[in-house]
Structure 1
């Protein structure tokens, strides 16, 4: 009977494959950094790990805007996003603080667990980034780094909240309003200058705020892909791809590499993601491990470099990192993420919280 059932949308597209490739881009990039080597870059704008994050944000913008359109309820929207992001993050944060930390720290168990940095690190559970514990991976290139990947998660959460606010105000229904607002930011940041240096100076933004803006631009490129319904027909796809790639080539020739990436990456990623390619579309058949790969790779890399950097070659370490991280990601999906997603509310789920409370939560997340 199962053989005659139509495949689900999840099984029909290539997004699982792309997300896994993007996660491995991050792993490989960090492997270079933790070995004290220069990370390979794309157009000298982002490392290949940063490139992977741009891909993640492009996909996220597209899928999350689809989710809002399917169920434009502010509180259910927030709850769905929370259930997708927080449970997996919570487990990796707790494992780092309570299990990995004591094994690496030179402090006694009592002194470690009652150290003030433990409470600070647990603020990651509030999407308030902290990356310091009372430990050190002695001999590693980045001895105090615990998880160099999760700093992008608060940025993504803010993108969710901003999208929700646009949805609640009705602006999300106007594709040209979103397109115009996004274009204005792109012009101010990546057209007038290669990377908005004057804007950054005027706003007095720190480097991490620069990355937050850039990742958000790719997120909203994904939103625009959905709003403009680019995938509606093969003809529209071909025209959109041709225009974006030609514009990207021109932008690169004019020394606007970030603009070039913004024009090319979301469009190619989402056109390939919405396609259905034999074999590739079955990547997530046994679970969506991409988020787990992103969450667990860095702690695994730090630990293995700490233990074996003088005993194993770089390629062997990378293979060992990949295998262990894949196992942890598989467990994360089946034991944590998938279980949490079963709690997602449907359109018929009664909501007792007033919409204003949800809106206030969104505003708090955006401005914090």
Structure 2
């Protein structure tokens, strides 16, 4: 009996003297990881599509409030929702960073990677820009059509297709609560293009293929940015985050993709991360620190099998929702002044937007993505070069 008690005491002493970090690591050691969840779903997170649609609809709701009340919109948004609104675009970008890294690692070819990105982004964007400039503008402008088609703003608007962002068309939406703006969502195009250009650079230098090297460079940059943020306020949010912060979230997504094999998934960790992100986001000096718990939340949700609305199961409508919702809202507000209440504008715009998004997916985006096979020669060309280099 004494011997058994002695053994128990030794075990207890060992547990007490074990470092706290090791004990915590032991707790998480048996949890499933993001990599495991992806392996069960053919290399993808099962919840990312639903998450993208959810984020796009949240942005649609926020813009419905803005387009209904203009500068007074802040009166209609409870202060408690401010961190959530600030988090929407960063969540989109860290999600994009996570997923796009998978594409980069699979293709291992810069021309092929950029071709795939171009097929995903440009066709629907070109159609949206053309519809606004060539259909919506002529129908609703208050200036004569001859003047409309000769105005420099008309020609400049097509620059949106190549990220030369322009918000106005001649005589369009001049009396709306948010006047003159055709599609404010287009401002994120330039940061997105920058992300792809830098990703191409990371591929050319092979940094993105070396998780340890990328992690060290990323963490060193994060420390420098966090210190700059604390000391000078660089990167602090006002009504939204600056474009360079949005880009930073893309690179956080890349890091989390590399860490996916050591990223435990647990509802308790998600709750803690969500709480921490919610607390940190509104404060100055926490911009780059908040990115870590927020990105964990995005990855966790992306690994869940989130039920999707039956009508939205036949395609990825998130990009179409994001692209088309703002001009649709502006048109409704222009044609029906009585709809300038968010609870009227939101459901009406959401229904119309989803119709446009579905049409965009089935008639533009999906057919364009089928053209990926046309670019497979870039993969073959790359393999041929590698084999030639090996023989040399």
Aligned to 1:365: none
Superposed, which structure 2 residues align to 1:155-174 within 5 Å? 155-174=191-210
Q: How many Å separate the matches in 1 of 2:111 and 2:79?
A: 38
Superposed, which structure 2 residues align to 1:1-368 within 5 Å? 9=42, 13-35=46-68, 36=70, 37-38=73-74, 40=77, 48=85, 50-194=86-230, 197=232, 199=234, 211-230=242-261, 236-238=264-266, 248=277, 256-277=285-306, 279-280=307-308, 285-310=313-338, 313-345=341-373, 348-350=376-378
The structure having more radius of gyration, on CA atoms, is 2
Q: How many Å separate the matches in 2 of 1:248 and 1:116?
A: 44
**Cα shift at 1:114:** 2.0
Q: How many Å separate the matches in 2 of 1:208 and 1:168?
A: 36
Which 10-residue stretch deviates more, 97-106 or 72-81? 97-106
Contact 2:235 2:245 in 1 (8 A): no
Cα gap change, 1:250 to 1:324, in 2 (>3 Å): closer
**Cα shift at 1:312:** 5.9
Which 10-residue stretch deviates more, 309-318 or 143-152? 309-318
Unpaired stretches in structure 2, ≥5 consecutive residues: 1-39, 384-392
Aligned to 1:361: none
Higher helix share: 2
Q: Deviations over 1:314-343 (max 9, x none)?
A: 312211111111100110101100011001
Count of residue pairs the alignment pairs up: 339
Contact 1:74 1:168 in 2 (8 A): yes
Cα gap change, 1:9 to 1:224, in 2 (>3 Å): same
Q: Deviations over 1:165-220 (max 9, x none)?
A: 101101112223322333333333335535x745479xxxxx99962211111111
Cα gap change, 1:130 to 1:253, in 2 (>3 Å): closer
Q: How many Å separate the matches in 1 of 2:220 and 2:240?
A: 18
* TM-score (norm. length: structure 2): 0.75
Which 10-residue stretch deviates more, 62-71 or 51-60? 51-60
Cα gap change, 1:341 to 1:185, in 2 (>3 Å): same
Cα gap change, 1:282 to 1:180, in 2 (>3 Å): farther
Q: How many Å separate the matches in 1 of 2:374 and 2:324?
A: 30
User: SS state of the match for residue 175, structure 2?
Assistant: coil
Q: How many Å separate the matches in 2 of 1:14 and 1:135?
A: 42
Q: How many Å separate the matches in 2 of 1:227 and 1:32?
A: 38
Contact 1:191 1:259 in 2 (8 A): no
**Cα shift at 1:307:** 1.8
Which 10-residue stretch deviates more, 319-328 or 128-137? 128-137
Q: How many Å separate the matches in 1 of 2:186 and 2:233?
A: 28
* TM-score (norm. length: structure 1): 0.80
Cα gap change, 1:56 to 1:23, in 2 (>3 Å): same
